[in-house]
Amino acid sequence: MKATYQKHNLEFKQPAGTSRGILKTKDTYFLKLDNGSEKGIGECNLFKGLSSDDRPDYEEKLQWVCDHIEMKPAEMMETLQEWPSILFGYEMAMKSMQSADPFTLFPSPFTEQQDSIPINGLVWMGDQDFMMKQLEEKLASGFDCIKLKIGAINFEAEMKLLKSIRARFRESEITIRVDANGAFTAENALSKLEELSKYDVHSIEQPIAQGQWEEMAHLCADTPVPIALDEELIGIYNSSRRAECLDVIKPQYIILKPALVGGFANSREWINLAGDRNIKWWITSALESNVGLNAIAQFTYTLGSRMPQGLGTGGLYTNNIESPLEVKKGHLYCNDVAAWDTNALNF
């Protein structure tokens, strides 16, 4: 079997504001397999500054995987455990090659156009006018679950934005999620959560930076707004440590990004651990191209959750890979009328 990788620089349609700064481009890598009769493709979605395998020798490791592609899958996956984005791409590529259609990894009513996945509409950080403009667009296009990135502008201005939403829509009409990306401090987080609770916020992702387990545990115990762990899950590679994380912090939710936690099998393990502790979850993409987003969406559908998922990032780029994925009225559909642009993938 032959394996190669291809780097692809994704370009945002408009700069994406996060608490880590402004994103204009994002690199990703496609891992391609070919055994002469079948082909497979996966996306190694490196998120610089966030992925635990953001290392100077990243491409060297990708080449190593290509050079050792004949290794037994179980051994390869064990070897790549601390390279979660590469493990995600490898697991996807192997699943792709074993499938009748390399882009249909998890056949289901979703891939057969019989069902869709509810998703949240993402509003990026920026000034109040910019965020309100995005919000209006999401509401007009039919979303009833909105996720707002907060922590970049004045907190009072963000509360004013939430107040304006609630002046128009009740909690039963529009679900509001917020994502702080660790922007609060352990000292001010609870007071900010109390302010957020005035606007019937569904949940807040990662209010304080990861690694502060005791502080996060206190917040989860006292919070008036349910807390979802996101970045907190990154870089935890073994089952016992994962269980310890959930047992210490006791969050209300966890959010799984397969590219950041090590693919589908590792996502399932987190879900099982959470289920044993009555912790709810949802799945979110991490700025993949449509190749990775497609695989994540298909995987997510098989898990049976009807909670809105975080899978609405396919339209962010000017040079994404053309795919069958389509967002309509707050749902993600797989429309097989649209063809994959295999030329852009050299696949």
Secondary structure of 143-186 as H, E, C letters:
CCEEEEECCCCCHHHHHHHHHHHHHHCCCCCCEEEEECCCEECC
Active site residue 149: yes
Closest residue by Cα to residue 151 from 188, 118, 100, 120: 188
Measured distance CA(283)–CA(270) in Å, rounded: 11
Measured distance CA(85)–CA(62) in Å, rounded: 10
Question: Which residue is catalytic, options 147, 257, 280, 329?
Answer: 257
Q: CA torsion, points 292, 293, 296, 298, in degrees to nearest 10? A: -110
Active site residue 257: yes
Specify the 3-state DSSP secondary structure of 103: coil
What the block records as the tokens of 131 is 């965020």
Measured distance CA(103)–CA(96) in Å, rounded: 6
Question: Which residue is catalytic, options 149, 250, 280, 329?
Answer: 149
CA distances from 57 to 193, 249, 288, 293 (A): 40, 33, 21, 25
Which residues belong to the active site? Answer: 149, 257
